[in-house]
Structure 1
Amino acid sequence: MSHVVTLDRVTKAYGEVRALDEVTLAFPRGRFVAVMGPSGSGKTTLLNCAAGLDPPTSGSVVIGGVDLARLSETKRTELRRRHVGFVFQSYNLLPALSVQDNITLPLRLAGLRPDRSWLRELVARVGLGDRLRHRPPELSGGQEQRAAIVRALAARPDVVFADEPTGALDRGSATQVLDLLRELVDELGQTVIMVTHDPVAAARAHQTLIMVDGKVVGLLHAPSADDLAARLARLDGEPRMTSKGVPQ
């Protein structure tokens, strides 16, 4: 199985604090992987380094076979626009633009022509066909997040990074978004790496990485929400160790 993102002994230090501590991981193509851990465990730092948003202090990050350390900041930005999608808790849609224009904006910024048939399929899957001319303030939170997911997928990225994508949604809307993410992986072969604090959300992924103190201390395959909640509750009593977990 090919890997879309790999990290080799990645460390991210802020002064004396190591937000990531020699993390080695490989994320397979076509999988939904959740990342969990206590506050300050390094989850968001892992996502930022893996996505090329924040360069590591040491170690290497490879996306789609390209070592990010070999690229200038301009080239890293170009790579992200073409090969990486992002979904955030706050949606980050521009309120003055229509849903249609929000979806295609990253493509225009990258100088790419939209694949109209692909966008039609995505819009149909998320149920926003009758909302394309609306502006974000006219949508529900769940609809805004679904529009953000279409925007993230518009360029057919190798990987989508999602940072607490259901954190601002009610349970019903969150369930719809999680169903959509899992469907995109299972039916379209998309790769999704999702940071979340919610065991119910993480349980929708194929695997869940557990982080503590900048290290990966566990890898659970298809865990239930109860399994995850119990594991997180036990973390304070577990020994701290460096794990070179590789999702398979």
Structure 2
Amino acid sequence: MRPVRAWGHEKTVRLVPVRDPGSGTGRQAPAVELAAVSKTYPGQVRALDEVTLTVDRGTFLAVMGPSGSGKSTLMHCAAGIDTPTGGRAFIDGTEIGALSETRRTELRRRSVGFVFQSYNLVPSLSVEDNIMLPLRLAGRAPDKEWIRGLVDRVGMSGRLAHRPSELSGGQQQRVAIARALAARPAVVFADEPTGALDLRTGREVLALLRDLVDGLGQTVVMVTHDPAAAARADRAVVMADGRIVDTLVKPTAAELATCVTRLETE
């Protein structure tokens, strides 16, 4: 437990895991599952070519590949932002393609968190209001104890009244991470989360994502071009021409850099 100063008072908060893999009577479904997913855009541009991928709960997956390899399309289809033209995609055991657009939006609000390179905070809102915004849009009452503990864990308990313009880039990304976790989602998708940060600050954000996986059992899927960032993951998949061409477990930055360089020169 750790003391938390938030909303003008001090309270001791214990953050329980986002998901308990052992809870319930049966095995939980993976956080994310793709089964032979393809995506073809107008003009017969095939961005994904029958990709099959399982992301277990409480794990950190990195997705790498040269420009145009399909990594962003994979994330969009896996997160329910885009619709596959073939195959099946599941979030938290629910098949995305079987849902109406309204139900898909509800699923994303309930089970998916997003962290973007550009933070995407609302400039006119305070840190506290930015973190609470997804819950308010979904019409859900916040779990204030969870939020207090989360704010403390990302190191922003003393900045709740600040506006984004009063924060550094690293602080803004920490707020974005807290916002992504506010609804206790099954999975957080991070799209180049360190791309706009300096090296030291980027390392701090990556360490925070790693801590959320190890300490809270959060599932994280991170798209990145940076081998050093991907090396923080439990597993990395490398893409080329819309396919997964390599999978590395506990990868090193050198292994990942060699793999991507080989693909870029082939």
TM-score bucket of the superposed structures, by smaller chain: over 0.9
Deviations 1:19-59 (A, max 9, x none): 00010111111000000000000000000000000001111
Residue of structure 2 aligned with 1:181, choices 202, 209, 216:
209
Deviations 1:71-94 (A, max 9, x none): 000000000001100000010000
CA distance in 2, matches of 1:234, 1:92: 34
Provide the secondary structure at the position in 2 that maps to 1:3: coil
Say how many residue pairs are matched.
Answer: 238
Equivalent residue, structure 2, for 1:7: 34
Matches within 5 A, 1:140-155: 140-155=168-183
Equivalent residue, structure 1, for 2:184: 156
Matches within 5 A, 1:1-248: 2-14=29-41, 15-236=43-264
Q: Which runs of 5+ in 1 are unaligned?
A: 239-248
Q: CA deviation at 1:237?
A: 5.8
Q: CA deviation at 1:166?
A: 0.4
TM-score by length of 2: 0.88
Asked if structure 1 preserves the Cα contact closer than 8 Å seen for 2:190 and 2:220, the reply is yes
Q: CA deviation at 1:236?
A: 4.3
CA distance in 2, matches of 1:176, 1:147: 13
Q: Which runs of 5+ in 2 are unaligned?
A: 1-26
Give the superposed CA RMSD: 1.0
Q: Cα distance 1:95–1:237, how it changes in 2: closer, same or farther (>3 A)?
A: closer
CA distance in 2, matches of 1:4, 1:155: 15
User: In structure 2, what residue type is equivalent to 1:221?
Assistant: V
Provide the secondary structure at the position in 1 that maps to 2:259: helix
Deviations 1:178-237 (A, max 9, x none): 000000001100000000000010000011000000000000011111111111111146
Q: CA deviation at 1:64?
A: 1.0
TM-score by length of 1: 0.94
Provide the secondary structure at the position in 2 that maps to 1:152: helix
CA distance in 1, matches of 2:47, 2:171: 34
CA distance in 2, matches of 1:9, 1:237: 27
Q: CA deviation at 1:69?
A: 1.1
User: In structure 1, what residue type is equivalent to 2:176?
Assistant: A
Provide the secondary structure at the position in 1 that maps to 2:202: helix
Deviations 1:92-120 (A, max 9, x none): 00000000000000000001111111111
Provide the secondary structure at the position in 1 that maps to 2:104: helix
Q: CA deviation at 1:9?
A: 0.8
| Structure 1 consecutive aligned stretches of length 4 or more whose deviation exceeds 6 Å | none
CA distance in 2, matches of 1:16, 1:49: 17
User: In structure 1, what residue type is equivalent to 2:80?
Assistant: G
Query: Identity percentage over the alignment?
Result: 65
Q: CA deviation at 1:70?
A: 1.1
Q: CA deviation at 1:171?
A: 0.7
